[in-house]
A and B are shown apart, each in its own frame.
Chain A
Amino acid sequence: MMNSVILNAATRLLVSLLVLFSIYMLLRGHNLPGGGFIGGLTGATGFVLYAIAHGTEATRAALRVEPQNIAMIGLGVALAAGVSAAIFGDAFFTGQWLFLGATEDDKGLPLSSVLVFDIGVYLVVFGSILTLVLALEEEV
C-alpha cells in the first residue's frame, strides 16, 4: 500500500475505466480480438491497482465477494453454458444461439451460450488472479 495522493486520486478513475474496458473486451470477444481471458486480466488489473493504492483490506471490501468464490462461480457458469446444450438435445458444449429481434436481412442481437461461457472464463480469470495477488500482497 502506498500513501500517494496522486495515485489514490488517479486510481478511483482508473479502476472504473479498466473494469468498463474489461467488459467491453469481454463482449466483443466472439468475433474480434478480446474475450473472457483478456477481459478478466484487464479487470483484475484494475483491482490490483486498487490494492496497491488502498491496501488489500479495502480491496476485499470493495469486491464484496471473496475472489476465490468469484473464480468458482465462474467455473460453474462456464460449465452451465456447456451443459445447457443438453436442453436442446445437442452434444456437450455445442453453442446455442438466440437472435433477438432477428428479421430477414438483419441478425438482430445475437445471444449465445458461447458468450455465457466467456463470462464464466472472465470470472475465473478475474477471481483467480485476484486470489493470488491479494494473498501475495498480504504476505509481503
Chain B
Amino acid sequence: MELLVAVMVGVMVAASVHLMLARNVLRFIFGLILISNAANLTIFAAGRLTPERPPLIPEGADAPAAQVANALPQALVLTAIVIGFGLFAFALTLVYRTYQTLGTLNSDEMRLAEPRGEDGS
C-alpha cells in the first residue's frame, strides 16, 4: 500500500514539476496545487497506512478497543489542506489581478519590478 502511494506521489511530483517549469504563471500555480496534494499524501503515508478502523473511541471508554488508524497524520493533513486552501485562493486571486493589470502571464515579460538593462540582468 505504501509503495502504491509512494509511486502516486512520485507521479504527481513529476507532473507538477513539469507544470512549474512553464513560463505561464497560471500553470505554475496549478503545479503548486498538485505538488501540495502530493505533500499531503506524503504526510499521510508517513503516518503508516493500516487497513484498520477509524480512530474513534466508543462511548464510555478511555481508549480505542482495537488497533485503529493513526489519527495524527489525518489532523496534520487536514490543517495543511485548510492552510493550502487559503494560500491558493490568494495566489489565484493575485495571478488574476496581475493578468488584468499587466496584461500577461508570461513570467519572462514580468519585469516591472526589476527592469531590464539597468542592472545588466
Contacts and interface: CB of A to CB of B under 8 A. Distances in A.
Contacts of B97: 139
B121 interface: no
Interface string A104-140: 0000000000000000000000001000100110010
Q: Majority SS of interface residues in chain A?
A: helix
Contacts of B96: 136, 139
B93 A136 contact: yes
Interface residues of A, number: 6
Interface string A37-72: 100000000000000000000000000000000000
B93 A128 contact: no
A2 to B, nearest CB: 21
B89 A139 contact: no
Interface in B56-72: none
B82 A132 contact: no
A139 B89 CA distance: 15
B86 A139 contact: no
A37 B86 CA distance: 12
B89 A132 contact: yes
A135 B93 contact: yes
Nearest to A128: B86
A37 B82 contact: yes
A139 B90 CA distance: 15
Q: Which 6 A-B pairs have the closest CB atoms?
A: A132-B89, A37-B82, A132-B93, A136-B93, A136-B96, A139-B100
Interface of A: 37, 128, 132, 135-136, 139
